Amino acid sequence: MTDDPARPPLARPPLGRPPSGFAMPRPGGGPGDSQPRDGQPGDGAGGDHASPLAPDATIDITAEQQALHISAILAELDRDFIGLAPVKARVREIAALLLVDKLRGRYGLGSTRPSLHMCFTGSPGTGKTTLAMRMGELLRELGYLRKGHLVAVTRDDLVGQYVGHTAPKTKEVLKRAMGGVLLIDEAYYLYRPDNERDYGQEAIEILLQFMETNRDDLVVILAGYADRMDVFFRSNPGMASRIAHNIDFPDFSLEELMQISELMLEQEQYRFSPGAAAAFREYIELRMHQPRFANARSMRNAIDRLRLRQARRLVTAGGQISRADLIEITEADVRGSRVFSMGTEPAEPAPPEPVQPGPGPAA
């Protein structure tokens, strides 16, 4: 598994439940939000109405969108995802396409299930795994996936180390992912042209077959750097041809990283003092140009260290403390970072992406 599995990508209340703590009210979270989904206007998932609508009947497309929680999911995406305008636009486009496809089905118009396998390209920490999770929810709401859960894997989860090991491993992962989204991080490492007997090829072939025969119940998302993915697709045209949507995740600007950090703090019920906010902006500027910078993930790690320094400060000071003291991150907490004194953040774990997998025993 990848992406520090101990941590859910974004802390937020599950769909349909009231928000708690600092969380903002859910957009569109009126009384209708908690109604059961069955029997609503949108219950025609997959065009499963026995008889098609009359040709002169009309459908309220706004109501459909609301009944299927599409509007809520998209609004939530807008709120929780800072920046990424092109990504959001692509998601809206895909959601619109699928909704229209479903509505066409209600009139008995041709609606073959569109292929939904995708490719997410971008640097580490740009939100690919988080969006894959949201995509699963969206596809479940639209009736394209039974469960919509996310199974995130890398080469090591699919490829075995000796003869006969790979097929059961890959199939076990596929079985777990059925009904949901299978995210393959750094999918290009499955293919090692330098080693013709590499078991990665076997995993690719099983994947390709599954992607074709189980496309009604499984969405595969390949993730990684754009340039390596291009090379991978050129050598694996079968895979390339099964990918319906490519979404590119741009790096975040300084301003966006600042907003992401403030959102993360807010979600954990912390807050910068005004001095801390200014100092953290400086921190980001320095950190952005250092090695192993991983966009929003580096912000997440920086915030973990801020919490540590705040805790140390409060405990060391002793005496009476208030609620506000427990919430506030001070300028001193920020400036305690080694990025200011030594120019590096030594505790930052390497993002998984740039690491070449070592040659396995049988590779």
Interacting residue ranges for Mg ion, rule: CB under 5 A = 3, 128-129
Residue number of the CB atom closest to Mg ion: 129
CB of 296 to Mg ion, least distance (A): 10
Tell me which of ligand ADP, Mg ion, none is bound by residue 296, counting a contact when its beta carbon lies within the kind-specific cut-off of 5 to 8 angstroms: ligand ADP
Is 105 among the residues that bind ligand ADP (CB under 6 A)? Answer: no
Among 157, 96, 85, which residue's Cα sits nearest to residue 127?
85
Considering the complex, state which of residue 205 and residue 248 has its C-beta at the smaller distance from Mg ion: 248
Give yes or no for a contact between 283 and 334, defined as CB atoms under 8 angstroms apart. yes
Burial class of residue 190 in the structure, from the number of CB atoms within 10 Å of its CB (0-12 exposed, 13-18 middle, 19+ buried): buried
Tell me which of Mg ion, ligand ADP, none is bound by residue 257, counting a contact when its beta carbon lies within the kind-specific cut-off of 5 to 8 angstroms: none
Which residue carries 């989860």 as its tokens?
A: 157
Among 355, 340, 361, which residue's Cα sits nearest to residue 154?
355
Among 68, 73, 81, 148, binds ligand ADP (CB under 6 A): 81
Considering the complex, state which of residue 144 and residue 249 has its C-beta at the smaller distance from ligand ADP: 249
Tell me which of ligand ADP, Mg ion, none is bound by residue 143, counting a contact when its beta carbon lies within the kind-specific cut-off of 5 to 8 angstroms: none
Is 126 among the residues that bind ligand ADP (CB under 6 A)? Answer: yes
Q: How far apart are the first and last CA of the chain?
A: 21
Considering the complex, state which of residue 142 and residue 296 has its C-beta at the smaller distance from ligand ADP: 296
Region 299-338 residues binding ligand ADP, contact defined as CB under 6 A: 300
Considering the complex, state which of residue 99 and residue 329 has its C-beta at the smaller distance from ligand ADP: 329
Quick one: which segment of 61-69, 119-127, 266-274, 281-289 binds ligand ADP (CB under 6 A)? 119-127
Tell me which of ligand ADP, Mg ion, none is bound by residue 187, counting a contact when its beta carbon lies within the kind-specific cut-off of 5 to 8 angstroms: none
Considering the complex, state which of residue 129 and residue 310 has its C-beta at the smaller distance from Mg ion: 129
Quick one: which segment of 53-61, 117-125, 158-166, 331-339 binds ligand ADP (CB under 6 A)? 117-125
CB of 80 to ligand ADP, least distance (A): 6
Considering the complex, state which of residue 132 and residue 339 has its C-beta at the smaller distance from Mg ion: 132
CB of 260 to ligand ADP, least distance (A): 4
Is 128 among the residues that bind ligand ADP (CB under 6 A)? Answer: yes
Tell me which of ligand ADP, Mg ion, none is bound by residue 81, counting a contact when its beta carbon lies within the kind-specific cut-off of 5 to 8 angstroms: ligand ADP
Q: Can you read off the two tokens belonging to residue 347?
A: 């505790």
Question: Can you give the binding site for ligand ADP, defined by CB under 6 A?
Answer: 3, 9-10, 81-84, 122, 124-130, 260, 263, 296-297, 300
